[in-house]
A and B are shown apart, each in its own frame.
Chain A
Amino acid sequence: MIESLEDLNEIAQKKLCAQGDCEDEIRVCIGSSCASLGSEDLSKEIAQKMEQEGLQKRCRVKGVGCNGLCSEAILVSHQKKGATSEDLYTNIEASQADDFIALLQNKKDLKEKLYDLQQAFFFKQKKIVLENAGYIDPNDIEDAIAHGAYQALFKVLDTMEPKDVLDEIKQSGLRGRGGGGYPTGLKWESVAKVHSDTKYIICNGDEGDPGAFMDRAVMEADPHKVLEGMSIAGFACGASQGFIYVRAEYPIAVEKLTKAIKQARKYGLLGKNIGESGFSFDIDIRLGGGAFVCGEATALIASIEGGRGNPRQKPPHLSDHGLFAQPTVLNNVETLANIAPIIQKGAEWFKNIGIPSSTGTKVFALTGHIKNTGLVEIPMGMSLRELVYDVGGGASGEKAIKAIQTGGPSGGCIPEEHLDISVDYDSLKKIGSIMGSGGLIVMDESSNMVEVARFFMDFCRSESCGKCVPCRVGTTELTDLLDKFVAKKASKSDYELLKNMCEVVKESSLCGLGQTAPNPVLSTLKYFEEEYLEGIADD
């Protein structure tokens, strides 16, 4: 049981000492991409062979979460004792356990697999949310504690009042990472203000954008960061119960979170009277069922309450009438993962990263026709060009990059000539896209923009919950219309109809799904109109 900051530090010290006994550390990524290539078996096999060779005292092996360079899976890193940086080996096969034994015995080097850490992919990133990803063992709370977990929680419990926490978060300028960008401090304050015996903190881990996996990586690699952020939110807002709503399609994330919650309870970091402070907070997991609309706030709540995920009209807002009709804070995984670092290092530190209107960093999942696919965390305000060409390494194939897409089904396409804009909430919005939750898809000259727009519209059509007519009927009609353009059988009047219908769906749908469904069409119409015109048959 951890009852005070001293107890926490003691565990951290003990763990660090125990780890210090070993000279080296080998870290095998067991994030989803690496795991799918068999990295867990590789990790076990290395450990086993080390024991056979009597090397277990010299080096320990651990499975860690994703460090981001998923395109080069499997990743294994080797940290020599006393070294400040690691040797990162990429494109390792699951059958290469012997090579690492030979490496430790200095019988072999793996130079051809060694990755150059001086590349822009690494040095242009700034890691806050992902600072521990790739370093700690997500199955071991003590490893997390040794890397600073729960320090911020004790700082809050020992030295701060709820109001101080609210001020700090407001000061930091943190905005919601789930897409909307609403200031987190203000959101918390509106719930803290309401008098109620029961309040809830919900973590949105639904990650519905099909082609994004930022939140998944955070939950899998550093689950305690999310739990700590939720506890601090609970303290600031006066809530004692939290829920994490996770997609059932993310079984590893569910497993890691479940384990983390169990361990945190055992160590007294969740539950009644945490650290003898009188503050109680507990967290439960609720599984989603694979419905994109359930990422929407009111639908998510309906789902936790056990019903169909139909959104409802707002107001009443969640701050008055949320889960089980009680005041509720809903935050995205990444938003919550920023909380502990802000409390620990201060709002001023956080504000110095990024730009004044969008502070801090943003995690992106780079995918599509780009060289370095994977996860990156960059300071806000970096230009899209830098993100795509330097960090992302540019196009993956021969063809030039044509456009990028951010914000998934609610976002828009940005043509290559606009890539000089800065990555922040307001700039992206101005140009017809959105920050979104962090999916960034790069498309080269081989991509047809009308087909891409159709892909997203079809997605919205199948995900529409059907509650309101403009979205239910509109997305179906729009998909059919786009089909005609793709088949090059549209007429001039179809073109007008397409534009009008987009406006209608956007203006009159009940929830965010319908309201933003036309965005991919509108933005491609704006920048790639000629591709639509090509779809009109001559008559």
Chain B
Amino acid sequence: MLPTNDDRYKMVEKTMKKLGYERSALIETLHTAQETFGYLEIDALKMIAKRLRLPYSKVYGVATFYHFFRLKPKGEHTVVVCTGTACYIKGANEILDKFEKKFGIKAGETTSDAFVSLLSARCVGSCSLAPVVIYDNKVAGKLTSQDALDKLEETLS
């Protein structure tokens, strides 16, 4: 169990309090928890369930329903390949393929040494720059698959 005096936990508590510990506060609370902890650890989910008087199964069910929530920690670096329509038309799949091969993992997974998380997104809203890859929160657009690989090297070095 997480210690309740963990500062990060206070942030989560604050969100629940703001929303009056209503059951409808669940998703907002999960967002805050993910923001503060980086991902949703099982202990945090259990704590939230208790505080909002919800069955743990419900909290777990909601956390796993939405793509945005992660139940595992992210790697040191995060690379997000956009696979929305605009990027798909401009060859995003080829980029994703190359990245998957390079790391030997699938989109959504993290390398076993916790170095890189490879993610795919369905449109990050910069379609005019398609195809788009986000390297550690920095957006790069209009990439050929070679550009994409070069930028990857740059990010990881």
Chain A residues engaging chain B, CB cutoff 8 angstroms = 32-33, 36-37, 70-71, 73, 207, 209-213, 216, 248-250, 286-292, 303-309, 324, 365, 367-369, 373-374, 405, 408, 439, 441, 443, 447, 452, 455-456, 459, 465
Contact B68 A249 (CB under 8 A): yes
> Is the CB of B112 closer than 8 A to any CB of chain A?
no
For chain B, residues 64 to 118, give those with C-beta under 8 angstroms from any C-beta of chain A: 65-69, 83-90
Contacting residue for A249 out of B65, B69, B124, B127, CB 8 A: B124
Bound together, the chains give a CA A288 to CA B65 distance in angstroms of 11
Contact B128 A73 (CB under 8 A): yes
Contacting residue for A304 out of B24, B121, B122, CB 8 A: B24
Contact A36 B123 (CB under 8 A): no
Cβ–Cβ < 8 Å partners of A291 in chain B: 65-67
Bound together, the chains give a CA A306 to CA B21 distance in angstroms of 12
Contact B61 A367 (CB under 8 A): no
Contact B89 A447 (CB under 8 A): yes
For chain B, residues 101 to 157, give those with C-beta under 8 angstroms from any C-beta of chain A: 121-130, 132, 138-141
Instruction: Name the CB-closest residue of A to B121.
Output: A249
Contacting residue for A305 out of B24, B124, B140, CB 8 A: B24
Measured CB to CB, the closest approach of chain A to B135, in angstroms, equals 11
> Is the CB of B47 closer than 8 A to any CB of chain A?
no
The 20 listed contacts between A and B (C-beta, < 8 Å) are: A33-B128, A36-B129, A73-B128, A210-B122, A211-B86, A211-B87, A212-B127, A249-B125, A289-B27, A291-B67, A305-B23, A306-B22, A306-B27, A307-B26, A309-B65, A367-B85, A367-B89, A367-B128, A408-B85, A439-B85
Measured CB to CB, the closest approach of chain A to B55, in angstroms, equals 12
Per-position contact with A for B10-37: 1 when CB-CB < 8 Å, else 0? 0000000000001111111011000000
12 A-B pairs besides A71-B128, A374-B128 with CB distance below 8 A are A33-B129, A37-B139, A37-B141, A289-B27, A290-B122, A304-B24, A306-B23, A309-B66, A367-B130, A369-B89, A373-B127, A447-B89
Given contacts A33-B141, A367-B85, A441-B85, contact A290 B66 (CB under 8 A): yes
Given contacts A249-B121, A365-B127, contact A289 B89 (CB under 8 A): no
Bound together, the chains give a CA A472 to CA B151 distance in angstroms of 38
The winner among A306, A447, A456 for most chain B CB atoms within 10 A is A306
Given contacts A373-B127, A408-B85, contact A459 B122 (CB under 8 A): yes
Measured CB to CB, the closest approach of chain A to B138, in angstroms, equals 8
Measured CB to CB, the closest approach of chain B to A285, in angstroms, equals 9
Instruction: Name the CB-closest residue of A to B25.
Output: A306
Contacting residue for B86 out of A249, A288, A303, A367, CB 8 A: A367
> Is the CB of B62 closer than 8 A to any CB of chain A?
yes
Contact B27 A303 (CB under 8 A): yes
Cβ–Cβ < 8 Å partners of A33 in chain B: 126, 128-129, 141
Measured CB to CB, the closest approach of chain B to A487, in angstroms, equals 15
Give the size of the chain B interface in residues (CB under 8 angstroms).
40
Bound together, the chains give a CA A36 to CA B129 distance in angstroms of 9
Contacting residue for B26 out of A207, A209, A306, CB 8 A: A306
Bound together, the chains give a CA A208 to CA B30 distance in angstroms of 21
Measured CB to CB, the closest approach of chain A to B68, in angstroms, equals 4
Bound together, the chains give a CA A291 to CA B28 distance in angstroms of 15
Contacting residue for A211 out of B23, B28, B62, B84, CB 8 A: B84
Given contacts A305-B24, A367-B130, A441-B86, contact A248 B68 (CB under 8 A): yes
Chain B residues engaging chain A, CB cutoff 8 angstroms = 22-28, 30-31, 58, 61-62, 65-69, 83-90, 121-130, 132, 138-141
Contact A290 B128 (CB under 8 A): no
Measured CB to CB, the closest approach of chain A to B85, in angstroms, equals 3
Given contacts A289-B67, A307-B62, contact A210 B28 (CB under 8 A): no
Measured CB to CB, the closest approach of chain A to B100, in angstroms, equals 16
Instruction: Name the CB-closest residue of A to B134.
Output: A36
Cβ–Cβ < 8 Å partners of A36 in chain B: 126, 129, 132, 138-141
Instruction: Name the CB-closest residue of A to B24.
Output: A306
Given contacts A287-B28, A306-B27, contact A70 B129 (CB under 8 A): yes
Contact A287 B128 (CB under 8 A): no
Cβ–Cβ < 8 Å partners of A304 in chain B: 24
Instruction: Name the CB-closest residue of A to B123.
Output: A210
Cβ–Cβ < 8 Å partners of B86 in chain A: 211, 367-368, 373, 441
Contact A289 B65 (CB under 8 A): yes
Contact A443 B123 (CB under 8 A): no
Contact B123 A213 (CB under 8 A): yes
Measured CB to CB, the closest approach of chain B to A439, in angstroms, equals 7
Measured CB to CB, the closest approach of chain A to B110, in angstroms, equals 18
Bound together, the chains give a CA A369 to CA B88 distance in angstroms of 11
Measured CB to CB, the closest approach of chain B to A164, in angstroms, equals 34
Cβ–Cβ < 8 Å partners of B24 in chain A: 304-306, 324
Contact B62 A308 (CB under 8 A): yes
Given contacts A211-B123, A306-B25, A443-B89, contact A289 B129 (CB under 8 A): no
Measured CB to CB, the closest approach of chain A to B104, in angstroms, equals 22
Measured CB to CB, the closest approach of chain A to B66, in angstroms, equals 3
Contact A289 B85 (CB under 8 A): no
Measured CB to CB, the closest approach of chain B to A473, in angstroms, equals 19
Contacting residue for A213 out of B22, B58, B65, B127, CB 8 A: B127
Cβ–Cβ < 8 Å partners of A32 in chain B: 124-126
Bound together, the chains give a CA A213 to CA B125 distance in angstroms of 5
Bound together, the chains give a CA A408 to CA B86 distance in angstroms of 10
The winner among B28, B30, B66 for most chain A CB atoms within 10 A is B66
Given contacts A249-B121, A289-B69, contact A211 B85 (CB under 8 A): yes
Measured CB to CB, the closest approach of chain A to B132, in angstroms, equals 8
Given contacts A32-B125, A216-B125, contact A308 B61 (CB under 8 A): yes
| Shortest Cβ-Cβ A-B pairs, 9 listed | A289-B66, A211-B85, A70-B128, A36-B139, A367-B86, A210-B84, A306-B26, A210-B122, A306-B24
Given contacts A36-B141, A367-B89, A455-B85, contact A212 B69 (CB under 8 A): no
Cβ–Cβ < 8 Å partners of A452 in chain B: 89
Measured CB to CB, the closest approach of chain B to A527, in angstroms, equals 17
